[in-house]
Chains A and B, each alone.
Chain A
Amino acid sequence: MGARDRPRRPAHSRLLHSLRQLLRHRALVQSLVARELKARYRGSTLGLLWSFINPLLLLSIYTFVFTTVMPGARSAGIEAGGVPFSLFLFCGLLPWTWFSASLLESSNSLIAGGNLIRKVLFPAEVLPIVSVFAGLVHFCLGLPILAAFFVYYRVPVPLTDLAWFPLIVLEQLLLTLGFALMVSALTVHFRDLRDLLTNGLTLAFFLTPIIYPLSQAPAWARPFLNLNPFTTLAVSYQEVLAIPGPFLGWPRLLIFAVVSVVVFVAGYFVFDRLRDTLAEEV
């Protein structure tokens, strides 16, 4: 019965209650994600193929810029390691697209779904969560293309390293959900956040080792880059998938698991605190 049963209780037990409610709504989330994908490509000739073409086009643009227009910017270090630049780029770009698109979309999700929140008794957190999961589906659709690249460049993927891959995805999912919940609820009150977010994400993109390897950044800058939560994820993707040799970053990845859980809970907490005001403010 959703929000109506929610009595005034201490914050942590209220949070647990809301989380349990959310589990009950997983079928709704699932249907809404499916609807999102269906509706997005409705009427376009290529349909779902766009989910494959979009990352491919994006990748081609970056590859073109960094190998043809300004080849100096390309890392000699990666080439020396035997990893083609476009492959390295793809490993960071694909998860980043998921992250940034989800946040941008969820920042607008409550305002776009304002009619629902104002007029229907409806668990509002479903809306940003759907944005994140729709992003996850696109991310997964991009994986076969990534695999095709590995085949094309004949780069072997160490299967033992690949075992870490699901954990990285899970951590990214929690991190993105946390940020998405926070951003969506706050945007309702502070609409300026949408524009700040757009610019903030552009900045974060360049502060994340995606178009350059972390090792190439100047030594003084690396501690700062490491503060960026997405750095750990990007580096892990690159090391697990593209960079040869055993995955050495696993302790850091495990520590980051804690961070992602904390971000998720914090995001949900913020959302839960602002929940009651949403119907009035949206």
Chain B
Amino acid sequence: MNAIEVRDVRKTYRRYGRRKSFGTLKSAILTGRVARDLKADDAFEALKGVSFDVPTGKTLGIVGRNGSGKSTMLKLIAGIGRPTSGDVKVHGRVSALIELGAGFHPEISGRDNVFINGMMLGLSKREVASRFDEIVAFAELEEFIDEPVKTYSSGMYMRLGFSVAINVDPDVLLVDEVLAVGDEAFTHKCLDKFADFRRRGRTVLLVTHSLDMVTRFCDEALWLDHGLVRAQGDPRRVVDAYLLDVAAAENRALHRNPAVSVASTTEQPEDMMKAVEGRWGSREAEIASVEFVRSDGVAAHVFESGEPLAIRIGVRAHHPLNDFVFGVALFSAEGVCCYGTNTDIEGAEPHEFTGEAEVGFVIDSLCLVAGTYTVDVAVHRRNGVPYDYHRSLYTIRVTSRVNETGIVRPPHRWTFSGGIRISGL
């Protein structure tokens, strides 16, 4: 038995110009399709034929980038709006946590608002009355329930909205990114409530950007991409596939504006440390290209923490040089220098540099936590006078399976002895 059945659903939003002619009023009323009869300037297909089922009692997580059609799908399932074509079937009472406290009136008391909101969500007055204490207790608003809602803080407002919606006790619960409603303790209560829901065999549909929630709570995941289903199935696998795709897209985006094209031949700044971004130097020697290469030899911009990273620097000397130093530095997004070195510091003695050449800087294991880093690349004299200095012109992204904090991720392992039993490390 399926609680939700979605069959080849399409949804097209039409955008039309400012001129709305009254000449179409009659036909608009007769056909009931105002939006379709007006000449559309532009159509936007939010969903392009989506089909899936959610079996009763299962929790489905929908992931996808912004604008992939997740919220549209949720609204269609909630019955707010109809698909342009296709069918949506839902069995049982639906409650949608899309916008919490959407119907609250600021001037009247929390008590009155609970009743009206509950009735808007489909409860009878008696049903609200019998659940009233539970709703107020869950929202932790016993003291304030007779105050006008306009005196509530935004957290109190959201908690009350959440509490009413969840206590409608629906057969199918639709959740759209609303778990950030309160402090940690309240979030835990909400998660407990969801768990309780699942135990009682209710169906939950979760739209979220928190992939962690999807892998932890969902029986199944659905990945929407540009209005189409890209994958459906085991949450771990769908989320991994999604993450891989996001990384690939970021790679493309970073690659598309290679910073070398920034032909900013700015003057050397007064204070090197304050320089944010730019390129300067005498250009007796030039950095012609910079590439970041993965272990498989493919140029990339996204690297997994702990993997090897090679920086390939194409250089050219316009006349033979015997005083030269190659340097590289990595900066975190906050501008903290994570690591910097050059051939001179490391004791290298320059002899000759003529014509075109390539410099490789190979890191066997990229010991950085997940984040975005900028890279400085330079060639200069031993006294520091630059030939060609590229400050923060390159960006790489480091990803990691775990979310540690800090900057550096030293290679490490845990050991335990005695009465400790731990698995998963």
In chain B, residues 334-381, which have Cβ atoms closer than 8 Å to a Cβ of chain A?
none
Say whether A252 faces chain B, with CB atoms less than 8 Å apart: no
Q: Apart from A28-B116, A276-B81, what 14 extra A-B contacts exist at CB < 8 Å?
A: A1-B93, A3-B79, A27-B125, A31-B112, A31-B116, A42-B107, A119-B99, A120-B96, A120-B121, A121-B78, A189-B20, A274-B28, A274-B32, A276-B82
Q: How far is the CB of B415 from chain A (nearest CB, A)?
A: 53
| Interface bin, chain A | 35 or more
Chain A residues, Cβ within 8 Å of B108: 35, 38-39, 42
Cα A48 to Cα B249 with chains together (Å): 62
Instruction: Return the contact of A32 from the options B30, B33, B116 (Cβ within 8 A).
Output: B116
> Which residues from A are CB-within-8-Å of B29?
186, 270, 273-274
- Top 9 A-B residue pairs of the complex, sorted by shortest distance between their CB atoms: A273-B32, A4-B79, A119-B99, A39-B107, A279-B81, A28-B119, A42-B107, A119-B102, A121-B79
Verify if B67 is at the interface (C-beta below 8 Å from A): no
Complex Cα spacing A113 to B105, Å: 11
Report the nearest B residue to A266, measured CB to CB: B29
* Contact flag A120-B20 (CB < 8 Å), given A189-B34, A276-B82: no
Q: Kindly provide the distance from the CB of A133 to the nearest chain B CB, expressed in whole angstroms.
A: 15
Give the Cβ gap from A122 to chain B, nearest Cβ, in Å: 5
Q: How far is the CB of B33 from chain A (nearest CB, A)?
A: 7
Q: Are A31 and B119 in contact (CB under 8 A)?
A: yes
B66 within 8 A of A: no
Q: Give the docked Cα–Cα distance between A32 and B96 (Å).
A: 21
User: B residues within 8 A CB of A276?
Assistant: 32, 81-82
B107 touches A43 (CB 8 A): yes
How many angstroms between the C-alpha atoms of A272 and B98 in the bound complex?
24
Q: Give A274 Cβ to nearest chain B Cβ, in Å.
A: 6
Rounded to whole angstroms, the CA-CA distance of A35 and B115 in the bound complex is 11
In the bound complex, how far is the Cα of B112 from the Cα of A38, in angstroms?
10
Interface residues of A in 74-133 (CB under 8 A from B): 113, 115-122
Q: B78 contacts which chain A residues (CB < 8 A)?
A: 4, 121
Chain A: interface secondary structure? helix
Q: With A190-B22, A276-B32 known to touch, is A4 a contact of B90 (CB < 8 Å)?
A: yes
Residues of B within 8 A of A47 (CB): none
| A1–B65 CA distance with the chains assembled, in angstroms | 31
- Are A120 and B119 within 8 A (Cβ)? no
Bound Cα distance A72, B82 (Å): 60
Q: How far is the CB of B99 from chain A (nearest CB, A)?
A: 4
Choose among A3, A189, A281 the residue with the greatest number of B CB atoms under 10 Å from its CB.
A189
B121: chain A residues within 8 A (beta carbon)? 120-121
Residue from the list A32, A115, A280 in contact with B102, Cβ < 8 A: A115
Tell me the complex Cα distance, A272–B122, Å.
20
Contact with A along B100-111 (1 / 0, CB 8 A): 001101011000
Total cross-chain contacts (CB, 8 A): 101
B156 to A: closest C-beta gap in Å: 19
- B31 to chain A: closest residue by CB: A273
Is the C-beta of A156 less than 8 angstroms from some C-beta in chain B? Answer: no
Q: Provide the bound-state CA to CA distance between A237 and B61, in Å.
A: 61
- B25 touches A (CB below 8 Å): yes
Instruction: Please report the C-alpha to C-alpha distance between residue A193 and residue B334 in the assembled complex, in whole angstroms.
Output: 54
Minimum CB distance partner of B98 in chain A: A119
Asked if B28 contacts A189 (CB within 8 A), the reply is yes
Give A19-49 interface residues, CB cut-off 8 Å to B: 27-28, 31-32, 35, 38-39, 42-43
Find the B residue at minimum CB distance from A31: B116
Given contacts A1-B122, A28-B116, contact A120 B13 (CB under 8 A): no
Q: Is B120 an interface residue (CB 8 A)?
A: yes
Which residues in B have their C-beta under 8 angstroms from that of A27?
Answer: 119, 124-125
Q: Which residues of B contact A192 (CB under 8 A)?
A: 22
State how many angstroms separate the Cβ of B25 from the closest Cβ of chain A: 7
- Scoring B82, B115, B148 by chain A CB atoms within 10 A of each residue's CB, the highest score goes to B82
A71: interface (CB < 8 Å): no
The reply to whether B33 and A277 contact each other, CB–CB distance below 8 Å, is yes
Q: Does residue A246 face the partner (Cβ distance < 8 Å to B)?
A: no
Interface pair A120/B116, CB less than 8 Å apart? no
Query: Is A249 at the interface (CB under 8 A from chain B)?
Result: no
Please name all residues of chain B whose beta carbon is closer than 8 Å to the beta carbon of A281 when the two chains form the complex: 34-35
Tell whether A144 is near chain B: CB-to-CB under 8 Å.
no
Q: Whole-angstrom distance between the alpha carbons of A119 and B34 in the complex? A: 21
A200 located at the interface, meaning its Cβ lies under 8 Å from any Cβ of chain B in the complex: no
Q: CB of B185 within 8 A of chain A?
A: no
* Residue contacts A-B, CB under 8 angstroms, 17 given: A1-B93, A2-B79, A31-B125, A39-B105, A115-B99, A117-B80, A119-B98, A120-B96, A120-B99, A120-B103, A121-B80, A122-B103, A189-B20, A272-B32, A273-B29, A276-B82, A277-B35
Task: Say how far B35's CB is from chain A's closest CB, in angstroms.
Answer: 5
Residues of B contacting A2 in the complex (Cβ-Cβ under 8 angstroms): 79, 122
- Report the separation of the CA atoms of residues A130 and B261 in the bound assembly, to the nearest whole angstrom: 63
Evaluate contact between B33 and A118: CB separation under 8 angstroms.
no
Q: Report whether B94 and A190 are in contact in the complex, using a CB–CB cutoff of 8 Å.
A: no
Given contacts A120-B120, A189-B20, contact A42 B148 (CB under 8 A): yes
Q: How far is the CB of B44 from chain A (nearest CB, A)?
A: 11
Partner of A4, one of B13, B94, B103: B94
Interface residues of B in 117-145 (CB under 8 A from A): 119-122, 124-125
Give chain A nearest CB distance to B165 CB in angstroms: 9
Least CB distance, A214 to chain B, in whole angstroms: 32
Distance of A279 Cα from B99 Cα, bound (Å) = 14
- Residues of B within 8 Å of A274, CB to CB, are 28-29, 32, 34
* Nearest CB in chain A to that of B35: its residue: A277
The interface residues of chain B lying within 8 Å CB-to-CB of A122 are 103, 120
In this complex, which of A121, A189, A273, A279 has the most chain B Cβ atoms within 10 angstroms of its Cβ?
A121
